[in-house]
DNA sequence: CACTACTCTTGCAACGTTTCATCAACCGTG
DNA sequence: CACGGTTGATGAAACGTTGCAAGAGTAGTG
């Protein structure tokens, strides 16, 4: 078959096929066509068959825009992540998608690339599309903007943001949305405490600027752990959170005279750690962990496969994604009288060869 | 400010704000509001100011559904990828997004997870949303379906599919879309030829089932190279294309008596190769490359950071994404009389420590 | 046979935009 | 001051759905 049908549907130039055309072809009213599409059970068998055949023959495709316009809200949720190329976010999104599928929602994803501008862009795009809700896992977020979006009726769940800062005195997080977070201060503390325990006397941390709350929280914890142990934490800045930036930071360390180098390095995420280790291995032959011990953050799938398997602070990325979507669903069904909920996960140290102890 | 404004916009229960409301508040017609939004230059300064203020005060958000309904086609393109968790596809998407941003298009992404069903789902979803075009980098594709979508007017560009099979005699690829591909047969050939050159006498290939054309092409090339060298290629099946599946396959090899193992393993992608190497390293202490040499495929960013840096067949993932979007744009602007174009990249061997030579 | 109860169908009024043909107002010119 | 020419503003007609009130049959009951 197939080829024998001749010209199927509206080939090329002609006007697009709408429900009216289907109705005419099937000899029924548009209302009936709509019913066949949305509540097939209430329409009689023969009519349904006629309509279905007409749909197939004409190659009718439902116009979601019109449907959406009429219905008010879509079956879609929007997610904004910092960087979809980073496995941590990829897993996060994966968790969201899995949970969404179970509830018949579709997820559309945008990468902000840590640009506040792109983030705003996606935010408005999603709001204009009347998505059912927004998942925000990007961080330089304009709180006023988020709040106004929430006020206008689109629920927002933020991933990886403060659970209870209350700096501005508002109950439960300034922006007015549920949050899923990990205790990043604790994560930073764990990492540096582990380095110190393993014998590090000159701990350092490689970080990157940008107003990511996670980053400053990790620094805070790292510094606390160092201070508690009686050491000072050296801060080394990388350009961003990528492997490449890590590699550059690693070179910088490698170029110093051996006596001047830190003996334990905590990296703000695994990508950076991988980069730093690349520089150590290929450019300077620095032994990990003997000369310098390493700890990363996120525990991405590749961490256990690096040159020297990377000790890392694990976050339950996929679970966090699922949870974020669950919270969003809760808000969606609760409607106006929804209450903000804040789920906080604990980071966990995963010991591997890149550190001692 | 902020708090002093009191209740901004339609807080909570009230009816959503539309252009009509803005028009009334600003004392102009809806047509003028529309003009302020779309062609601000043709409306007088004072009116524009009044409208803009009304928009801000009411918290008006444009309804994209209505806009889209009226305009016919969106500014969005849909992309379907096999697995957004796989860095190769993440990079591909990244390239698409970068190119899209330059042309003012938005990209929405769906992961098919190698399920034909999910792929169809996204395909219809995108068509119903009247996207401007579709980028297909998933493979079990139903050619009839794609062809009908193209016929109905939505251009499609396929990534990673045959460039010139012509098995069904049709000019340029059966489904009627432009394609961006890599010569996977050549890639497979390169990989196994390299193994053999490095001294392998018992080459093997780890693959996964699923009707991915890339996989069978790589197998084809691998077998050809083995045969040419006078050896036989052992085929070892993994469950899918993930690290975990690779690890299982690796264990299986490790469990054999040493004399029974292959001495060179080509994996269908880097994820699988990483898994295989994990099994070798942690479960059996098999030395790479001395006991078994390894070659992967895709050359993902982590390949150079694995326990033993992984030799791999590189594909220009990001560039491929950009190219796919460029071809799509070409089809979009060409309209009905668009011609299918087929861009084919060459794979490249990247030698690292996991293989000899 | 009249009546109620039920099952499907139908036609029409939204939904919130954009677009376009008119219209109004104003400006300089002859 | 009448005239075209410009520039801006207006109102109404789509766009393709969905949902609903009302209607048309059909069947069962007294």
B74-97: per-residue pLDDT in tens? 999 999 999 989 999 999 999 999
Say which DSSP state B132 is in. Answer: S
Inform me whether the pLDDT recorded for A175 exceeds 90.
no
Q: Does residue B26 share a domain with residue B80?
A: no
Total tally of structural domains belonging to chain A: 3
pLDDT at B170: 43
Neighbours of B324 (CB within 10 A): 28
Q: What is the dihedral of CA A101, A107, A112, A114, to 10 degrees?
A: -30
Residue A304 lies in a domain: yes
Residue B321 lies in a domain: yes
Q: Which of B62, B89, B110 is the last residue of a domain?
A: B62
Containing structural domain, residue B41? 3-62
Q: Does residue B178 share a domain with residue B254?
A: no
Nucleotide nearest to A71 (CA to C1'): D18
For the segment A316-346, what is each residue's pLDDT rounded down to a tens digit? 999 999 999 999 999 998 877 788 999 999 9
Q: Does residue B120 share a domain with residue B82?
A: yes
For the segment A195-238, what is each residue's pLDDT rounded down to a tens digit? 999 999 999 999 999 878 889 999 999 999 999 999 999 999 99
Alpha-carbon distance B338 to nearest alpha carbon in chain A (angstroms)? 11
Q: Does residue A321 share a domain with residue A178?
A: yes
Cα separation, A91 vs B287, whole angstroms? 31
Say which DSSP state B309 is in. Answer: P
Nucleotides of D under 7 A from a protein CB: 7-12, 14-20
Q: Among all residues of chain A, which has the CA nearest to that of B308?
A: A307
What separation in angstroms does the CA of B161 have from each of A65, B24, B158, B180? 31, 54, 6, 7
Q: Does residue B35 share a domain with residue B158?
A: no
Alpha-carbon distance A126 to nearest alpha carbon in chain B (angstroms)? 9
Contact (CB, 8 A) for B270 and B294: no
- DSSP-derived 3-state class of residue B79: strand
pLDDT at B174: 60
Cα separation, B73 vs B128, whole angstroms? 10
Cα separation, A145 vs A148, whole angstroms? 5
- Chain A positions in Cβ-Cβ contact with residue B309 (cut-off 8 Å): 307
Cα separation, A59 vs A9, whole angstroms? 5
Q: What is the CATH number of the domain that holds A37?
A: 1.10.260.40
Residue A32 lies in a domain: yes
| Percent of the residues in chain A that have a pLDDT greater than 70, as a whole number | 92
Return the structure tokens found at B239.
């469950």
Q: Does residue B304 share a domain with residue B266?
A: yes
A 168-207 residues with CB < 8 A to B: none
Q: Does residue B140 share a domain with residue B34?
A: no
Residue A351 lies in a domain: no
For the segment A53-63, what is each residue's pLDDT rounded down to a tens digit? 999 999 999 99
Q: Does residue A146 share a domain with residue A166?
A: yes
Inform me whether the pLDDT recorded for A185 exceeds 50.
yes
Cα separation, B19 vs A327, whole angstroms? 32
Return the structure tokens found at A37.
């599409």
Nucleotide nearest to A67 (CA to C1'): D17
Query: Would the CB atoms of A129 and B65 count as touching at under 8 Å?
Result: yes
Between A319-333, B154-168, B237-251, the lowest mean confidence (pLDDT) is in B154-168
Neighbours of A300 (CB within 10 A): 26
- Chain B positions in Cβ-Cβ contact with residue A129 (cut-off 8 Å): 64-65
pTM of the predicted model as reported, rounded to 2 decimal places: 0.89
Question: Which residues fall within 8 angstroms of residue A294, CB to CB, at 6 or more apart?
Answer: A264, A265, A266, A267, A273, A276, A277, A288, A308, A310, A311, A354, A355
Residue B67 lies in a domain: no
pLDDT at B176: 74
Cα separation, B197 vs A19, whole angstroms? 63
- Helices marked H in A152-209 — which ranges? 184-197
The values of phi and psi at residue B109, to 5°, are -120, 140
Q: From the CA of B7, how many Å to the C1' of C23?
A: 39
Averaged pLDDT of chain A: 90
A 207-246 residues with CB < 8 A to B: 243
pLDDT at B116: 87
Q: Does residue B322 share a domain with residue B179?
A: yes
pLDDT at A163: 46
Return the structure tokens found at B10.
């339609």
| Percent of the residues in chain A that have a pLDDT greater than 90, as a whole number | 75
Query: Would the CB atoms of B277 and A302 count as touching at under 8 Å?
Result: no
Cα separation, A203 vs A224, whole angstroms? 12
Return the structure tokens found at A312.
């890392």
Q: Does residue B191 share a domain with residue B303?
A: yes
Inform me whether the pLDDT recorded for B10 exceeds 50.
no
Inform me whether the pLDDT recorded for B283 exceeds 90.
no
Q: Does residue A326 share a domain with residue A178?
A: yes
Q: Does residue A298 share a domain with residue A222?
A: yes
Q: What is the CATH number of the domain that holds B272?
A: 3.40.50.2300
- DSSP-derived 3-state class of residue A157: strand
Neighbours of A3 (CB within 10 A): 7
Contact (CB, 8 A) for A207 and A237: yes
For the segment A25-57, what is each residue's pLDDT rounded down to a tens digit? 999 999 999 999 999 999 999 999 999 999 999
Residue A299 lies in a domain: yes
Query: Would the CB atoms of B66 and A62 count as touching at under 8 Å?
Result: no
Q: Is the CA virtual torsion B78, B177, B215, B348 positive or negative?
A: negative
Residue A357 lies in a domain: no
Cα separation, B143 vs A289, whole angstroms? 53
B 305-324 residues with CB < 8 A to A: 305-307, 309
Cα separation, A122 vs B309, whole angstroms? 38
Helices (runs of H) and strands (runs of E) counted in chain A: 12, 12
Averaged pLDDT of chain B: 90
Alpha-carbon distance A227 to nearest alpha carbon in chain B (angstroms)? 32
pLDDT at B11: 43
Inform me whether the pLDDT recorded for B164 exceeds 70.
no
Residue A140 lies in a domain: yes
Neighbours of B23 (CB within 10 A): 19
- DSSP-derived 3-state class of residue B107: strand
pLDDT at B2: 36
Neighbours of B274 (CB within 10 A): 28
**Confidence band (pLDDT; 50, 70, 90) for A89?**
very high
């Amino acid at each position: 078959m197939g080829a024998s049908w001749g010209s199927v549907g509206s080939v090329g130039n002609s006007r697009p096929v709408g429900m009216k055309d289907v109705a005419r072809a099937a000899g029924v009213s548009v209302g009936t066509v709509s019913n066949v599409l949305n509540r097939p059970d209430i329409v009689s068998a023969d009519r349904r068959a006629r309509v279905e055949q007409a749909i197939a023959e004409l190659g009718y495709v439902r116009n979601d825009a019109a449907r959406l316009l009429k219905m008010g809200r879509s079956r879609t949720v929007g997610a904004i992540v910092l960087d979809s190329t980073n496995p941590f976010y990829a897993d996060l999104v994966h968790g969201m998608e899995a949970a969404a599928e179970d509830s018949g929602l579709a997820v559309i994803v945008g990468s902000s690339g840590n640009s506040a501008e792109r983030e705003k862009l996606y935010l408005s795009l999603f709001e204009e599309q009347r998505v059912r809700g927004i998942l925000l896992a990007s961080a330089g977020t304009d709180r006023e903007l988020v709040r106004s979006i929430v006020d206008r009726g689109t629920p927002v769940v933020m991933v990886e943001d403060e659970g209870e800062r209350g700096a501005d005195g508002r109950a439960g997080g300034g922006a007015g949305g549920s949050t899923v977070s990990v205790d990043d201060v604790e994560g930073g503390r764990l990492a540096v405490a582990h380095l110190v325990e393993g014998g590090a006397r000159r701990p350092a941390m490689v970080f990157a600027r940008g107003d990511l709350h996670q980053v400053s929280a990790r620094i805070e914890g790292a510094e606390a752990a160092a201070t508690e142990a009686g050491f000072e934490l050296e801060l080394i800045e990388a350009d961003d959170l990528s492997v490449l930036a890590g590699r550059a930071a690693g070179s910088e360390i490698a170029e110093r005279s051996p006596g001047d180098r830190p003996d334990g390095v905590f990296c703000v995420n695994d990508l950076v750690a991988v980069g730093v280790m690349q520089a150590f291995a290929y450019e300077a032959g620095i032994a990990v962990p003997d000369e310098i011990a390493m700890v990363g953050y996120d525990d991405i799938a590749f961490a256990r496969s690096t040159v020297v398997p990377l000790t890392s602070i694990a976050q339950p990325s996929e679970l966090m994604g699922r949870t974020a979507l669950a919270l969003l669903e809760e808000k969606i069904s609760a409607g106006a009288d929804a209450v903000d909920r804040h789920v906080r996960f604990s980071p966990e140290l995963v010991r591997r060869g890149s550190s001692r102890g």
